[in-house]
Chains A and B, each alone.
Chain A
Amino acid sequence: MLNRTADNVARATPEPLAKKIRGISDKGLAWLFISPTILLLLAINIFPLFWAIYLSFTNYRANRPNEVVKNLGLSNYQRILGDQDIWIAMQTTAHFVFWTILLQTVIGFTLAWLIDRKFRGHAFWTTIILVPMMLSPAVVGNFWRFLYEPQIGLFSYVVSFVTGIPPTNVQMLSNVELAPWAIIIVDTWMWTPYVMLICLAGLRSIPEYIYEAAEVDRASNWRQFWSITLPMALPFIMLAVLFRGIENFKMFDMVNLLTGGGPGSTTEVASITLKRQAFESWRTGYSSAFAIILFVAVFGLANIYVKALNKVKQR
């Protein structure tokens, strides 16, 4: 009945229109649908990337549009790789990435393991733990700045209460030794729930029968953890490390809000240096070269890491 109706409609369709409709193949239709997305990607991702690569070989400055643009060859790259300040910024970034990932992974996995025990009220506590992750980094940065305030901040008073040090001496954001840790604490507080969530997914994916078999073999809890839980959750943990690693390598908002890279340059991570070069000093060519170096570094490290992740998954 339905086929007959369709046939009737097809026959009733005027020939020119029918030709037009028949003219678009399935493949053509697919291209038609995805082409806006591809054009958008080309415009906002691919073109700027190639443009930045081009600019990285020039002395172009965005604040001097009338100036002649000179080709400098590899000079910008050589200057960056020989710049002491850039290497200090890279070390600061590495320090920040290492400690945030370590703390977030350890605490995140521990929390996931505890939540996975399914104790009474675990759903409520899961929601509470997830709250920091749902806040805007701008909000988090601003309220932690107040918490760290040595004269009125709650953090200083808590530390003072525990250690007996006067609160005005707990200068988390002004002290050269403490400032990097102040940022690490905030980032860990905010993003540990994210790692916990991924680890929890990993733990929940381990089939129950494996533990039952281990129980039959009278394996201890410790043995079960080392031989079942950890290896089976490892791909998930590694995935969380990958996500957080990439995010923290380009960390900008929290550092900018909390310390602005200070005191001095003690918390000046690579992205802050890049922003200063690009939008404060207006060295567009130089900063494009720096951005390309950062991109290659993150892309290369991420690729190596993904290969390692695949190997772990195949085991």
Chain B
Amino acid sequence: MKSTLKLALGLASAIFASTAVSNVAHAEDLTLCWAAWDPANALVELSKDFTKETGIGMKFEFVPWTNYADRFLNELNSHGKLCDLIIGDSQWIGGAAENGHYVKLNDFFDKEKISMDDFVPATVVGYSEWPKNTPNYWALPAMGDVVGWTYRKDWFSKPELQKEFKEKYGWDLAPPTTFDQLKQIAEFFQKRQIDGKTVYGASIYTERGSEGITMGAMDVLYSYGFQYENPKKPYEMEGFVNSEKSVKGLEFYKALYDCCTPPGASNSYMGEGVDAFKSGQVAMHMNFAFTWPGLQKDENVGGDKIGYFVNPKGPDGDQFAQLGGQGISVVSYSAKQESALKYIKWFANKDVQAKWWSLGGYSCLNSVVKDPKFPSSQPYAQAFLDSMAIVKDFWAEPSYAPLLQASQKRFHDYVVAGQGSPKDALDGLVKDWTQVFQDDGKM
């Protein structure tokens, strides 16, 4: 009887102890919040090494892109404790810094000898700094991204198509270097029969709900000469946002939408673009570089069938591309900031960054992207490097959300619904943005 009692007590103690131990382990787990997409899966894989090294478990909260901003901005605004680490969109940086959502990382970087000079300059400005171009860091550049293009290499190399194209346009069918060339190629492929299927010219961003059409239109407008403000006088937008060059750029974007997109592509963003390209509907496809590793591996359109090119030049030879990507930040409401900082330190490590790139993430560390072997490491690596050298980004002001909503409305009304003229759309945008900045007391 005594031995049975001892056994029972021992068993109970063991169960209690094991529960307690597991609770301790859980208490140390970090939760990392990000969007649900391919690079997130790569990060899960990568983070296993962190757990192995430190014993700190990692949990992940991934939300689809369509709800990503709503979900996590709500979380931050309500001072939620769900996320210890967050990979927030580049445009959030102003609001997150000014509203105290992110921990300022300057002291930590100094202490751990993490230098922002070791990262691609555009990503430091885009993902880490607020105010822009000042050494105030709120994130570590985590995932470089930029809008670029993929094309059907196999279609472009068909001799009969090359011959017909040359006869029609007088130049060789090849990845375009200017937007005019891009439109000619798109027109050439629009409603063409290839391998018994009707195909279309290009998939471009037209989505209304979140940020799609703004990212797409801006990607073109920058190279046409669009500027957000007077470089000498901040927030002065008249004559810059709605300059003649900007009007031409927006007109071009609408012409491209009207002539050369698949039927019904009036609400298309990253997912829809990938679907259009993967299903063999389009000859060219505008999308963020993060989609490229997945497309490269695709059995139907990847491998030798796919090629990549940098955003083409505008009429005056200017060439820019819309910045995507994000930095990783420590949430100031987290109770596990010390462990979260450990993760940032680990993530900044050279070897970890090299592995990050090999798994499908886009490293922003100079030592990775400036490695001589980097351009040949993946078929899309050179296009990514070239694109990252010409990036521009949307407003990153604390009021980025109403600024974005205004451009979404103005662009969609003109480009997709065909209401008004490009000048009306951009004049309206100046009016809306002026109102936002006046409300903020900045004008």
Contact = CB atoms under 8 A, between A and B. Distances in A.
A88 to B, nearest CB: 10
B150 to A, nearest CB: 20
Given A173-B264, A261-B208, A262-B267, A281 B417 contact: no
B402 interface: yes
Contact of B439 (A59, A174, A176): A59
A171 B263 contact: yes
A62 B99 CA distance: 11
Contacts of A169: 263
A266 B267 CA distance: 13
Interface in B68-109: 70, 73-74, 77, 79, 95, 98-100
Interface in A257-285: 259-266, 276, 279-283
A307 interface: no
B264 A171 contact: yes
A66 B416 contact: no
A113 B130 CA distance: 67
Contact of A176 (B79, B401, B405, B417): B417
B413 interface: yes
Contact of A63 (B99, B412, B414, B439): B99
A64 B96 CA distance: 10
Interface string B238-273: 000000000000000000000000111111000000
Given A64-B99, A261-B208, A264-B416, A174 B265 contact: yes
A14 interface: no
A264 B267 CA distance: 10
Given A59-B439, A66-B100, A264 B402 contact: no
B405 A174 contact: no
B438 to A, nearest CB: 12
Contact of B263 (A168, A279, A282, A283): A168
A211 to B, nearest CB: 52
State the majority secondary structure of interface residues on A: loop
A62 B267 contact: no
Nearest to B66: A260
Nearest to B415: A264
Contacts of A282: 77, 401-402
B208, B266, B413, most chain A CB atoms within 10 A: B266
Interface in A150-203: 150-151, 168-169, 171, 173-174, 176
Contacts of B99: 63-66
B418 interface: yes
Contacts of B100: 66
A264 B263 contact: no
B419 interface: yes
A290 to B, nearest CB: 14
Contacts of A171: 263-264, 266
A262 B266 contact: yes
A279 B412 contact: no
B413 A265 contact: yes
A265 B412 contact: yes
B77 A264 contact: no
B350 interface: no
Interface string B401-441: 11011000100111011110000000000000000000100
Contacts of A262: 208, 266-267, 412, 416-417
B269 to A, nearest CB: 11
A275 to B, nearest CB: 10
Contact of B419 (A64, A264, A276): A264
Interface in A236-271: 259-266
B402 A265 contact: no
A280 B405 contact: yes
B398 interface: yes
B412 A263 contact: yes
B266 A173 contact: yes
B209 interface: yes
A174 B416 contact: yes
A85 B262 CA distance: 30
Contacts of A280: 70, 401, 404-405
Given A63-B401, A66-B100, A260-B267, A176 B418 contact: yes
A266 B208 CA distance: 12
Contacts of A261: 208-209
Interface of A: 59, 62-66, 85, 149-151, 168-169, 171, 173-174, 176, 259-266, 276, 279-283
Given A263-B412, A265-B412, 15 more contacts: A64-B398, A66-B100, A85-B409, A149-B264, A169-B263, A174-B266, A174-B267, A259-B267, A261-B209, A262-B267, A264-B409, A264-B412, A265-B413, A280-B70, A282-B401
Interface of B: 70, 73-74, 77, 79, 95, 98-100, 198, 208-209, 262-267, 281, 398, 401-402, 404-405, 409, 412-414, 416-419, 439
The 4 A-B residue pairs whose C-beta atoms are closest, nearest first, are A264-B417, A174-B266, A281-B402, A264-B413
